[in-house]
């Protein structure tokens, strides 16, 4: 498999890297402390043409290939994993719903275009208090009433919740059928009966806007149904396959960002009259981490290329998510240790990266779920 990047991909990668280093890095410690999501910087990403990269220009996208998007997400996450996950949810989960559901052109123009263009944000609302790893545990119900559905229930841990304009919401139309009766709707912010709860106070990705959603007799026209009863669970699982590639890119970016900080520190910091990298133990540790990061990168790029070429990618996405998120957690933990007391200080960034890395092993299907997927393929 050829992993050589073409000129367009290199250009997008460079653009995202420069934006992250020159713009996102400026107030990142403040955002981590205050939990403010930078809508202005999100808008700048749109102005640069980084939003909607893999989607058609007809619907506000850039018409680029899927790997270009993954490269941009990786670069953004080297500096700011909170922006990385907001970017990923809009692109890998919300926008992907329209292609995965084969949505009609009119629906795409109305609900895909604003988010793909970066003029609005979107959310993917599947998780509930009773439905985490077991997505079939959904309890939110949509009851048909004339030409509308009335929705009651709640969602939790919804990324972009407080700042999104549009939501893909998964519901049951017949609780007795369970996931076989699952449907999905596009719901707009401000719809009567729909409220956004308080922001979750998270350990990591603290400037990402994450919240609960509540639906109380929320009436939604049938024309806003993106997945018919019985098709919702299939859509959710297909979206999550792509979402796992996005989270893998986020995690790889975190690992690479921490690696660079550790490498520079080992070159600059002196102990026992010589730079730390002259300590063989630390140099060997960095060599091992470098190899593990590169291995993870190849799994990620393979998954992205599988998706782009319309090959089955459930397995490659699961492998990429598992390996990239594990190395993110390992690399950031090792970076804190290698920086010693300084690693524990916020101004050195690696403690934030360690906190950010942990969630990547949990959302879009825990790493235990990824092992179930991989082992299930092995022993079919």
The model's pLDDT over 13-62, given as tens digits with 9 standing for 90+, comes to: 999 999 999 999 999 999 999 999 999 999 999 999 999 999 999 999 99
Query: Has residue 145 been placed in a domain?
Result: yes
Query: Is there a single domain that holds both residue 218 and residue 112?
Result: no
Query: Has residue 1 been placed in a domain?
Result: no
Query: Is there a single domain that holds both residue 346 and residue 261?
Result: yes
Asked which of 72-86, 134-148, 206-220 is least confident by mean pLDDT, the reply is 134-148
Residue 136 pLDDT greater than 90, yes or no: no
What percent of the chain is predicted at pLDDT more than 90?
A: 95
pLDDT at position 137: 85
CATH number for the domain spanning 180: value is 2.40.110.10
| Euclidean distance between CA atoms 153 and 155, whole angstroms | 7
Query: Is there a single domain that holds both residue 110 and residue 134?
Result: no
CB 187 within 8 Å of CB 224: yes
Query: Is there a single domain that holds both residue 229 and residue 355?
Result: no
Backbone angles phi, psi at 143, to 5 degrees: -110, 125
Query: Is there a single domain that holds both residue 104 and residue 23?
Result: yes
| Euclidean distance between CA atoms 16 and 193, whole angstroms | 39
For range 173-192, the mean pLDDT: 95
Dump pLDDT digits (tens) for 69-93: 999 999 999 999 999 999 999 999 9
| Euclidean distance between CA atoms 145 and 380, whole angstroms | 43
Residue 95 pLDDT greater than 90, yes or no: yes
Dump pLDDT digits (tens) for 235-254: 999 999 999 999 999 999 99
pLDDT at position 260: 98
For range 89-113, the mean pLDDT: 98
Greatest pairwise CA separation for the chain in angstroms: 79
Query: Is there a single domain that holds both residue 259 and residue 368?
Result: yes
For range 255-264, the mean pLDDT: 98
Catalytic residues, which ones?
Answer: 364
For range 285-308, the mean pLDDT: 98
The two beta strands, 122-125 and 166-172, are parallel
For range 180-188, the mean pLDDT: 97
Burial 199-212 (b: 16+ CB within 10 A, else e): bbebebbbbbbbbb
Residue 380 pLDDT greater than 90, yes or no: no
Residue 131 pLDDT greater than 90, yes or no: no
Query: Is there a single domain that holds both residue 127 and residue 117?
Result: no
Domain residues for the domain of 164 are 123-233
Query: Is there a single domain that holds both residue 203 and residue 256?
Result: no
pTM above the 0.85 mark? yes
pLDDT at position 134: 85
Query: Is there a single domain that holds both residue 145 and residue 36?
Result: no
pLDDT at position 135: 81
pLDDT at position 199: 94
For range 266-288, the mean pLDDT: 95
Q: How many domains in the chain?
A: 3
CB 140 within 8 Å of CB 206: no
CA 319 to chain centre: 16
Q: Please say which residue of 102, 121, 140 terminates a domain.
A: 121
Residue 308 pLDDT greater than 90, yes or no: yes
Residue 133 pLDDT greater than 90, yes or no: no
Query: Has residue 128 been placed in a domain?
Result: yes
pLDDT at position 182: 96
CB 81 within 8 Å of CB 136: no
CATH number for the domain spanning 292: value is 1.20.140.10
Q: Please say which residue of 121, 141, 170 terminates a domain.
A: 121
Q: What's the residue count for the chain?
A: 380
For range 217-246, the mean pLDDT: 97
Query: Has residue 40 been placed in a domain?
Result: yes
Summary mean pLDDT of the chain = 97
CA 368 to chain centre: 18
């Amino acid at each position: 498999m050829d992993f050589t990047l073409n000129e367009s991909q290199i250009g997008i990668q460079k653009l995202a890297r420069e934006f992250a280093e020159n713009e996102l890095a400026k107030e990142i410690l403040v955002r981590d402390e205050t939990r403010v999501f930078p809508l202005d910087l999100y808008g700048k990403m749109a102005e640069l043409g980084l939003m909607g990269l893999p989607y058609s220009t007809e619907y506000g996208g850039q018409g680029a290939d899927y790997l270009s998007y993954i490269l941009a997400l990786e670069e953004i996450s080297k500096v700011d994993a909170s922006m990385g996950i907001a970017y990923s949810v809009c692109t890998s989960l919300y926008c992907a719903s329209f292609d995965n559901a084969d949505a009609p052109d009119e629906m795409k123009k109305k609900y895909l275009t604003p988010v793909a263009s970066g003029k609005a944000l979107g959310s993917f609302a599947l998780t509930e208090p009773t439905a985490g790893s077991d997505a079939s545990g959904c309890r939110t119900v949509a009851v048909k009433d004339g030409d509308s559905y009335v929705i009651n229930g709640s969602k939790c841990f919804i990324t972009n919740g407080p700042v999104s304009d549009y939501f893909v919401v998964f519901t049951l139309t017949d609780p007795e059928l369970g996931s076989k009766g699952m449907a999905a709707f596009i719901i707009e912010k401000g719809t009567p009966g729909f409220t956004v709860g308080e922001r979750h106070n998270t350990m990591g990705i603290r400037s990402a806007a994450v919240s609960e959603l509540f639906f109380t007799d929320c009436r939604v026209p049938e024309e806003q149904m993106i997945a018919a009863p019985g098709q919702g669970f299939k859509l959710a699982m297909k979206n999550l396959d792509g979402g796992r590639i996005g989270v893998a890119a986020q995690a790889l970016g975190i690992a690479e960002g921490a690696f660079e900080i550790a490498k520079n520190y080992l070159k600059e910091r002196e102990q026992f009259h010589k730079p730390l990298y002259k300590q063989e133990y630390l140099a060997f540790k960095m060599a091992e981490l470098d190899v593990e990061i590169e291995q993870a990168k190849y799994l990620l790029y393979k998954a992205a290329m599988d998706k782009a070429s319309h090959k089955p990618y459930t397995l490659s996405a699961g492998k990429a998510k598992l390996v990239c998120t594990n190395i993110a957690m390992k690399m950031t933990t090792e970076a804190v240790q290698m920086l010693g007391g300084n690693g524990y200080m916020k101004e050195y960034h690696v403690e934030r990266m360690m906190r950010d890395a942990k969630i990547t092993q949990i959302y879009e299907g825990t790493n235990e779920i990824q092992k179930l997927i991989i082992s299930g393929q092995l022993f079919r």
